[in-house]
């Protein structure tokens, strides 16, 4: 059985703002606004429309503080915590011989760094990552890319994501989809048990 897994809020929880806020000096005017500007361009960065070597200096300039690139990278990366119940599911699915594929909006700062620092990703030999494809979820293009590149049959592929818009596109294209809520993991477990039972 084939599974497409989103990363954020499914395999790894994340919180951008508290980590990026550590880069701002105390008392800097409109600190919240400066962080929002950085995240407003995140979609362009994650779709590959802005390359990493352009985004990083642009983002540091918008912070309005003397920040070293190494410190920026550290803050951008250290936003994650494992979603332990889902890790146990992945371990079980991998042990059962299921095909596991990452399907995520992400960027060149997080990848391959997360793959090197979180052991769960050893179970995902295949991946569809937005910054490499030139499109992001929920745009249909990235789903079609996944289908074509990995030879997927949507009606036979289980897709797990946390965002309603992403799940809506997945369902429209025929994927067997589940909107994951990390605060309600048992509901996912029940759905998964049914899927595994009925194939």
One domain, residues 97 and 121: yes
One domain, residues 70 and 106: no
Q: What is the CATH number of the domain that holds 149?
A: 3.40.50.1000
* CA–CA dist 145, 141 (Å, integer): 6
One domain, residues 9 and 61: no
Last residue of a domain, one of 77, 103, 120: 77
One domain, residues 47 and 103: no
Share of the chain above pLDDT 70, in %: 100
Question: Is residue 76 over pLDDT 80?
Answer: yes
Task: Tell me what pLDDT residue 66 has.
Answer: 86
Peptide bond before residue 72 is cis, with ω within 30 degrees of 0: no
Q: Summarize pLDDT for 7-36 with one digit per residue, the tens.
A: 999 999 999 888 988 998 887 888 888 888
Q: Summarize pLDDT for 38-48 with one digit per residue, the tens.
A: 888 889 999 99
Task: Tell me what pLDDT residue 79 has.
Answer: 95
Task: Tell me what pLDDT residue 62 has.
Answer: 86
One domain, residues 52 and 146: no
Last residue of a domain, one of 30, 47, 77: 77
DSSP three-state, residue 68: coil
One domain, residues 72 and 162: no
Q: Summarize pLDDT for 87-132 with one digit per residue, the tens.
A: 999 999 999 999 999 999 999 999 999 999 999 999 999 999 999 9
Share of the chain above pLDDT 90, in %: 82
One domain, residues 28 and 124: no
- Residues 85-89: contacts with CB within 8 Å, 24+ apart? 85/185, 85/189, 86/10, 86/11, 86/180, 86/182, 86/185, 86/188, 87/11, 87/120, 89/188, 89/189, 89/192
Last residue of a domain, one of 28, 50, 77: 77
One domain, residues 60 and 136: no
Residue-number span of the structural domain to which 161 is assigned: 2-13+80-198
* Global confidence as pTM: 0.94
Average confidence score pLDDT of the chain: 95
One domain, residues 66 and 7: no
Task: Tell me what pLDDT residue 58 has.
Answer: 93
One domain, residues 188 and 91: yes
One domain, residues 25 and 8: no
One domain, residues 117 and 87: yes
Task: Tell me what pLDDT residue 39 has.
Answer: 82
Count of structural domains within the chain: 2
């Amino acid at each position: 059985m084939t599974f497409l897994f989103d990363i954020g809020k499914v395999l790894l929880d994340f919180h951008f703002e508290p980590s990026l806020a550590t880069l701002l000096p105390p008392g800097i005017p409109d600190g919240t606004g400066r962080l929002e500007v950085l995240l407003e361009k995140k979609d362009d960065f994650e779709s590959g429309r802005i390359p990493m070597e352009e985004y990083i200096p642009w983002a540091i300039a918008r912070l309005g503080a003397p920040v070293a690139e190494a410190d920026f990278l550290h803050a951008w990366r250290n936003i994650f915590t494992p979603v332990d119940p889902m890790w146990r599911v992945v371990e079980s699915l991998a042990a059962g011989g299921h095909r596991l594929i990452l399907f995520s909006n992400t960027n060149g700062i997080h990848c391959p760094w997360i793959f090197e620092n979180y052991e769960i990703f050893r179970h995902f030999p295949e991946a569809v990552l937005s910054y490499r494809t030139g499109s992001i979820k929920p745009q249909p293009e990235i789903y079609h890319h996944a289908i074509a590149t990995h030879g997927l049959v949507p009606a036979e592929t289980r897709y797990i994501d946390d965002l309603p818009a992403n799940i809506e596109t997945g369902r429209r294209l025929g994927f067997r989809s589940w909107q994951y809520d990390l605060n309600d993991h048992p509901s996912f477990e029940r759905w998964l048990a049914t899927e595994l039972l009925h194939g």
